[in-house]
Chains A and B, each alone.
Chain A
Amino acid sequence: MVSTTDTLPAAEQRGRTSELWSWASHHKTIVAGIAILLALVAIAIAAPWLSGDPLQFEPTNRLRKPSGQFWFGTDQFGRDVYARVIHGTRISLIVGLSVAFVATAIGLFVGVICGFYKRVDGIVMRIMDGMMAIPAILLAIALITLMKASLLIVIIAIAVPEIPRVVRLVRSVVLSVRTRPYIDAAIACGTSNARIMARHILPNTVAPLIVQATYVCASAILTEAGLSFLGAGTPPEIPSWGNVISLGRTFFQIAPWIIFFPGVFLAVTVLAINLVGDGLRDMLDPRIARRM
């Protein structure tokens, strides 16, 4: 008796570990993506300890090649590109996560309302169609031209054009769920609309929303870099990858490293997020997995 109670937790433990292991070996892309993302989050958190000051000017060290002293070289002001790229990780991750959160939250709210109340639906969906016709980057540029540049404005400007896609997704889920018998049953039982939405409809949107959120996050990071590259993004004093690349533009023939390193960080980050997104999509919707 005593021995079984003693060994049981250990056996269960082993069972769980091997279960996790087999799950991981079946979802290699998700695991790889998560591993890269965790490393990037660690870099973002530990940035001040991993590198020097990203803003320090050293005119004597202008446009140095990558070396033991300056791993990623220096820019035209003698600033350490490595320090700037490491600190840029923070900006990209903050923008990506905030935009994903804001766009999904607003999109979820509007989408559920649209799917549930037919009267609102017609008008709101026409507005969404119009917003989707405007290229995301131009809409963001317009918002940024009209307001003072700050990280918050950049996040809002990137989130706004992402909202319609989330609304459409949520709305389509709500519309298909609404026709199910258990919703009729809930209505027949006199359940309030708010409760039906919260208890019976919202849970169905979670899986597709998580997948969509990863794509919003990846596209937000690319858009921020694009906006900064064009000079309409994060204020230039903040070292974001887009800003570093933007400054490297003039000197790229003699100092390609200023563009190369932040560009690779950017690509790897977006790749990792997409791997997680693709993996989750395949996991949550096996029907698509077989096709893709």
Chain B
Amino acid sequence: MAAYILRRLIATIPVMIVVALFVFFLLHLTPGDPAAVIAGDEATPADIEAVRRKLGLDRPIWEQFALYVWNLLRGDLGTSIFSNLPVLTLVKQRLEPSVVLAVSTLAVAVALAIPMGVLAAARARTAVDRIVMGFSVLGFAVPVFLVGYLLIYVFAIHLRWLPVQGYRPLSEGIVGTLRSIALPSLALGMTYMALIARITRASMLEVLSEDYIRTARAKGVSRPSILLRHALKNAAVPIVTVIGIGFALLISGVVITETVFNIPGLGRLTVDAILKRDYPIIQGLIILFAGAKVLVNLLVDISYTFFDPRIRQ
């Protein structure tokens, strides 16, 4: 078990090295002069030179690379071109809303989608099944921002149940936070739910056709017990895998959802960085998000051992 976890842990190292290399060479291999593009259309040669110096592009490439790697190892993600603040400081200021949004979306999506998938499989080829499948097809097509604005329009503007936009920090009370995060989580979770529901149904259908399910039925095991204890646990590996894959979707979605709902998180930091072409911030966020994704995949790998002990070997 420990050996398995260690192996998985070591496997994440090359991935992160590639990510770091990729981000570094992106800046150096893009055609044209990135300093000129970042400085903008109205920049004077002196401005461009200043940006070049800030990005370190005026030094020899091996020196830049050594400095970049050294800084990363020290946990320094670089410095913003415009505010001159360390990227890590900017990230820390904006971290809470994004983490709360991601976690609550994950919770909402898993809590709604797995029962939907189980139900659809248990009632395969009935109206319930068609509704769930219809929802999962739609969930893939409807963009986050459309769902987001529709939810705001119905629940915030029309019914006035929830706040229109904005975020209440946890320090001001969890109820306010949950109210401000409810609609964003639902909007962001739509695609995620579609994905999980679809895989849950498929995986359950496969398990339900196994012999040991028939045996359990013959023994007189109750239906809920068959579905949950015998089938769902054995159907879990693909479901957990897809929860991990979907986390990537979630990260991309966080950026857009925060813009729709005016949430001052990492997504807003990204959008501000785009407007100012503040490349070091985007570079830092890529490494951070990639790290989060790798971590989630690691957790997924570890969770396999719980659902399927054979994997431990």
Q: Which residues of A contact B (CB under 8 A)?
A: 126-127, 129-131, 133-139, 141-148, 218, 222, 225-226, 229-232, 245, 249, 252-253, 256, 259-260, 263-264, 266-268, 270-271, 274-275, 278, 291-292
Judged by a CB distance under 8 angstroms, whether B307 is at the interface is no
In the bound complex, CA of A23 to CA of B289 (Å) = 46
Whether A130 contacts B15 by the Cβ 8 Å rule is yes
Whether B206 contacts A291 by the Cβ 8 Å rule is yes
Whether B294 contacts A231 by the Cβ 8 Å rule is no
Residue in A137, A138, A146, A271 whose beta carbon sits within 8 Å of that of B279 in the complex: A146
Whether B248 contacts A135 by the Cβ 8 Å rule is yes
A286 vs chain B, min Cβ distance (A): 14
In the bound complex, CA of A267 to CA of B26 (Å) = 32
Whether A229 contacts B146 by the Cβ 8 Å rule is no
Residue in A145, A266, A274, A292 whose beta carbon sits within 8 Å of that of B202 in the complex: A292
* Set of chain A residues within 8 Å of B293, measured between Cβ atoms: 133, 135
Whether B271 contacts A126 by the Cβ 8 Å rule is no
In the bound complex, CA of A290 to CA of B144 (Å) = 30
Whether A231 contacts B271 by the Cβ 8 Å rule is yes
* Set of chain A residues within 8 Å of B166, measured between Cβ atoms: none
For the complex of A and B, list the 5 residue pairs with the smallest distance between their C-beta atoms, beginning with the closest.
Answer: A130-B18, A263-B146, A271-B141, A137-B252, A270-B141
Whether A129 contacts B252 by the Cβ 8 Å rule is no
Total interface residues in chain B, CB < 8 Å: 57
Q: Which residues of B contact A (CB under 8 A)?
A: 14-19, 21-23, 26-27, 30-32, 34, 37-38, 137-138, 140-146, 149, 152-153, 157, 164, 198, 202, 205-206, 248, 251-252, 255-256, 259-260, 270-271, 273-275, 277, 279, 282-283, 285-286, 289-290, 293-294
Interface of A is mostly: helix
Which of A131, A142, A249 has most B Cβ within 10 Å?
A142
21 contacts between A and B (CB under 8 A): A130-B19, A130-B22, A133-B294, A134-B19, A135-B252, A138-B282, A138-B289, A145-B277, A146-B37, A147-B30, A148-B32, A263-B143, A266-B143, A267-B138, A267-B146, A270-B143, A271-B137, A271-B140, A274-B140, A291-B202, A292-B198
Whether A145 contacts B279 by the Cβ 8 Å rule is yes
In the bound complex, CA of A231 to CA of B277 (Å) = 11
* Set of chain A residues within 8 Å of B30, measured between Cβ atoms: 143, 146-147
Using CB atoms, name the residue of chain A closest to B297.
A133
Given A147-B31, A231-B274; A136-B21 close (CB under 8 Å): no
Whether A142 contacts B145 by the Cβ 8 Å rule is no
A163 vs chain B, min Cβ distance (A): 13
A165 vs chain B, min Cβ distance (A): 11
Whether B14 contacts A129 by the Cβ 8 Å rule is yes
Whether A230 contacts B252 by the Cβ 8 Å rule is no
Whether A141 contacts B270 by the Cβ 8 Å rule is yes
Residue in B18, B19, B143, B273 whose beta carbon sits within 8 Å of that of A225 in the complex: B143
Using CB atoms, name the residue of chain B closest to A270.
B141
Whether B259 contacts A230 by the Cβ 8 Å rule is yes
Using CB atoms, name the residue of chain A closest to B245.
A132
Which of B251, B259, B282, B294 has most A Cβ within 10 Å?
B282
A38 vs chain B, min Cβ distance (A): 18
* Set of chain A residues within 8 Å of B251, measured between Cβ atoms: 135, 138
Using CB atoms, name the residue of chain A closest to B27.
A146
* Set of chain B residues within 8 Å of A259, measured between Cβ atoms: 145-146, 149
Other A-B pairs beyond A133-B293, A146-B279, A226-B144, 11, CB < 8 Å: A131-B18, A134-B286, A146-B37, A146-B38, A230-B259, A231-B275, A253-B164, A263-B149, A274-B140, A275-B137, A291-B206
Using CB atoms, name the residue of chain A closest to B272.
A231
In the bound complex, CA of A108 to CA of B152 (Å) = 43
